[in-house]
């Protein structure tokens, strides 16, 4: 048994739920099983985007980020559903509880995946045996499939979990790199996006093996310090620990929305930005933080995307302040072209209880008056269930709805 647990090494799992949103919907409604299913934002709109799809749909070429219209052309029997985030969050919480039954060293990284360090779990069996039990419990108790990668570090565990889906268990040791990892195309390496892959191919780096053996100075010249970091990973080197507290280390809070149609209507833009600001405010209140930087994202009809950020003199946390900062940037940088997507992100965050507001003689009175107003609004919101001063078409617009945030990923600890 101890041969599986090296004295000076680690045994890391990466647990990755398979087609998570679609699988949750199938578990909730078994009549969907075996059918091509896609979960999409704005499924009734021509520009709705596929968030995830079942493996039955993927056989037809349906992919994440694909417009719904294109997905339906590829698969005429495709079932398209709106996401039900609360359902996914509940399933995620139960999944992480199962992982936590094995070890306390669990690091959620998103709603449907996480790392585990089982180095000290040798009394529970071999790593493959533990992985099989986890996989079986998740399938039997939640009716959800998952793949598990087993490796000596986080990077290799992540790569291993992608090698066999659905319901795969893959072991990837450093001695396996030459045969299992290095032949893979460079685009399949975790941490290499489309732009990075393009730059690497210019250096004639076609595979992960090419990256592992390429002159490091060449890589650093093109990719900076990230070039050396990627090469280390290609050679199986990753010293980052599994950190259960990492979920709390968020640097920004943001949200975005794809519009039902491209628009140049400034009034419509204002309305969308106000809704986005309300959602960001709700999440900031949930984490009890303020922001000193606000970023605006605009994606145009031709998919060209620009981001602009503004550093503020004071920390802010209200929807009105977030909207004002975002709209000022919109007013300055919009090129009058039709807009497809808008996003607002609060950055440079600081916890309220750790933040000392530096008030000078000129802004003290203004700040104090604002605090009274904010307190009154919070009191009315608590009493009536929504901010009476925000004119939203739907009261749920200000709720925390996105599943891509990390705010809730430690909920599983509240058993």
Which active-site residues does the annotation give? 113
DSSP codes joined into one string, 216-264: HHHHHHHHTHHHHHHHHHHTT---PPP-GGGGG---EEEEEEEEEEEE-
Q: Could you tell me whether strands 79-81 and 37-41 are parallel, antiparallel, or unpaired per DSSP bridges?
A: parallel
Sort strands 305-316 and 106-110 into parallel, antiparallel or unpaired.
Answer: unpaired
Report the distance separating Cα 337 and Cα 317, nearest Å: 30
Instruction: In whole angstroms, give the CA distance from residue 251 to residue 224.
Output: 22
In sequence order, which residues have a C-beta less than 8 Å from that of residue 99 and are 6 or more positions away?
A: 15, 106, 114, 116, 134, 412
Q: In whole angstroms, how large is the CA radius of gyration of the chain?
A: 24
Task: Tell whether 112 is in a known binding site.
Answer: yes
What is the Cα–Cα distance from 413 to 97, expressed in whole angstroms?
7
Decide if 161 contacts 149 (C-beta within 8 A): yes
Residue 99 near residue 137, CB atoms below 8 Å: no
CA distances from 322 to 222, 231, 258, 364 (A): 36, 40, 19, 20
Q: Which of 64, 61, 60 is nearest to 20 (CA)?
A: 64
If one counts every other C-beta atom within 10 angstroms of the C-beta of residue 394, the result is 8
Which amino acids are annotated as binding site for Mg(2+), given as ranges? 16, 112
């Amino acid at each position: 048994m101890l041969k599986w647990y090296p004295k000076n090494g680690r045994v890391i799992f990466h647990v990755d739920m398979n087609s998570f949103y679609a699988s949750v919907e199938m578990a909730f409604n078994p009549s969907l099983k075996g059918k091509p299913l896609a979960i999409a934002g704005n499924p009734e709109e021509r520009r709705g985007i596929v968030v995830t799809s079942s493996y039955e749909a993927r056989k037809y070429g349906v992919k994440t980020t694909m417009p719904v219209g294109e997905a339906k052309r590829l698969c005429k029997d495709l079932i398209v559903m709106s996401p039900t985030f609360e359902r996914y969050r509940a399933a995620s919480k139960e999944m992480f509880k199962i992982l936590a039954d094995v070890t306390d060293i669990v690091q959620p990284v998103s709603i449907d995946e996480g790392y585990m360090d089982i180095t000290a779990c040798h009394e529970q069996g071999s790593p493959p045996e533990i992985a099989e039990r986890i996989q079986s419990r998740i399938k039997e108790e939640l009716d959800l499939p998952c793949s598990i990668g087993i490796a000596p570090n986080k990077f290799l565990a992540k790569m291993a979990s992608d090698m066999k889906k659905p319901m795969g268990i893959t072991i990837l040791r450093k001695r396996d790199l030459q045969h299992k990892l290095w032949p893979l195309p460079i685009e399949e390496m975790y941490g290499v996006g489309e732009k990075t892959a393009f730059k690497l191919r210019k250096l004639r780096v076609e595979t992960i093996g090419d990256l592992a053996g390429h002159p490091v100075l060449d890589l650093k010249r093109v990719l900076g310090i990230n070039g050396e970091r990627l090469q280390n990973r290609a050679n199986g080197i990753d010293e980052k620990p599994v950190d259960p507290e990492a979920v709390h280390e968020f640097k920004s809070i943001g949200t975005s929305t794809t519009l039902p149609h491209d628009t140049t209507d400034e009034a419509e833009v204002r309305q969308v930005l106000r809704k986005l600001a309300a959602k960001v405010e709700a999440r900031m209140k949930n984490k009890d933080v303020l922001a000193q930087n606000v970023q605006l994202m605009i994606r145009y009809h031709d998919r060209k995307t620009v981001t602009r950020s503004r550093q503020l003199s004071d920390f802010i946390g209200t929807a009105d302040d977030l909207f004002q900062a975002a709209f000022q940037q919109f007013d300055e940088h919009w090129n009058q072209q039709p807009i497809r997507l808008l996003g607002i992100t609060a950055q440079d965050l600081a916890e309220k209880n750790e933040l000392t507001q530096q008030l000078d003689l000129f802004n003290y009175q203004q700040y104090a008056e604002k605090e009274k107003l904010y307190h009154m609004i919070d009191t009315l919101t608590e009493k009536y269930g929504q901010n009476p001063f925000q004119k939203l078409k739907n009261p749920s617009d200000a709720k925390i709805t996105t599943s891509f945030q990390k705010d809730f990923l430690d909920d599983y600890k509240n058993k």
